[in-house]
């Protein structure tokens, strides 16, 4: 396939459904070979598997590898990254999208839910990012993108484990951008400008009613992710971007 990312290899964590799935398909459409990474090897309560997404990419003429990956497990992450490099020869782009949702008030949040949000949304980003950096550096540069949320700035609406974990990711990536500038690696965060009604949101959004004007089509995130995936440290780096604020 040809496109703006032709010849690039992208590792997409949390790619079996939702935003990750849409982004993985868009990266492939732009020409990248895509490692479709997630725990979802078989259908569960929430639809979508890594094999479904990889099969769709290859059916469209692209290159994809379904890679089992639990982002909270160091060995699993290292194995997934190694499998990607063995298959495609390296990694140029990371989309750190794996996440869990918990929007309950702090006072009624069980400790296990708090820890799960931090384990998946923060430590998971740390582990996949740490694992891919040497491979992106070896390519002479590339792009790291972490998916966050506009909720980070909504302090007037209280606190929850999800927003806290994503706020920590933004601090991690803003600092990492400075560390990796000399390696020609762009490091950015990307969040929806509005709400994307993913399978995860529908399963964990506490039944909240969302007005139509507050809903963002998944393709807006996909288009923004492709643009950021094409960056290196000479372009957009060290930023927190909102999907609908980036040029299409």
Query: 């999907």: which residue's tokens?
Result: 243
The separation between CA 1 and the C-alpha centre of its own chain, rounded to angstroms, equals 22
Rg (CA), the chain: 17
Q: Is 173 a catalytic residue?
A: no
Number of C-beta neighbours around residue 167 at 10 A: 19
- Whole-angstrom CA distances from 74 to 81, 115, 141 are 11, 16, 24
The catalytically annotated residue of 126, 162, 163, 173 is: 162
Q: Output the CA angle 14-18-22, nearest 5 degrees.
A: 90
* Contacts with 154 (C-beta within 8 Å, 6 or more apart), sequence order: 163
Distance CA 32, CA 47 (A): 25
Interaxial angle between packed helices 18-29 and 218-229, expressed in degrees from 0 to 180 and rounded to the nearest 10: 50
- Whole-angstrom CA distances from 217 to 26, 165, 238 are 14, 24, 25
User: Active-site residues: which are they?
Assistant: 162
């Amino acid at each position: 396939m040809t496109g703006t990312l032709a010849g690039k290899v992208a590792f997409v964590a949390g790619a079996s459904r939702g935003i990750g799935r849409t982004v993985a398909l868009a990266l492939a459409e732009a020409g990248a070979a895509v490692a479709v990474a997630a725990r979802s090897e078989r259908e569960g309560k929430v639809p979508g598997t890594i094999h479904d997404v990889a099969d769709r990419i290859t059916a469209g003429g692209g290159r994809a590898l379904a890679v089992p990956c639990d982002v909270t497990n160091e060995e699993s992450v290292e194995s997934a990254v190694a499998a990607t490099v063995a298959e495609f020869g390296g990694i140029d782009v990371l989309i750190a999208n794996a996440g869990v949702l918990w929007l309950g008030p702090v006072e009624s949040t069980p400790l296990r839910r708090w820890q799960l949000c931090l384990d998946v949304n923060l430590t998971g980003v740390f582990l996949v990012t740490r694992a891919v950096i040497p491979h992106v550096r070896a390519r002479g540069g590339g792009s790291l993108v972490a998916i966050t949320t506009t909720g980070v700035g909504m302090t007037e609406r209280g606190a929850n484990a999800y927003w806290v974990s994503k706020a920590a990711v933004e601090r991690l990536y803003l600092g990492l951008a400075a560390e990796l500038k000399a390696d020609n690696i762009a490091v950015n965060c990307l969040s929806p400008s509005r709400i994307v009604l993913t399978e995860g949101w529908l399963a964990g959004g506490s039944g909240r009613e969302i007005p139509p004007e507050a809903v963002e089509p998944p393709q807006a995130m996909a288009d923004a992710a492709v643009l950021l995936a094409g960056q290196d440290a000479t372009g957009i780096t060290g930023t927190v971007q909102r999907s609908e604020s980036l040029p299409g």
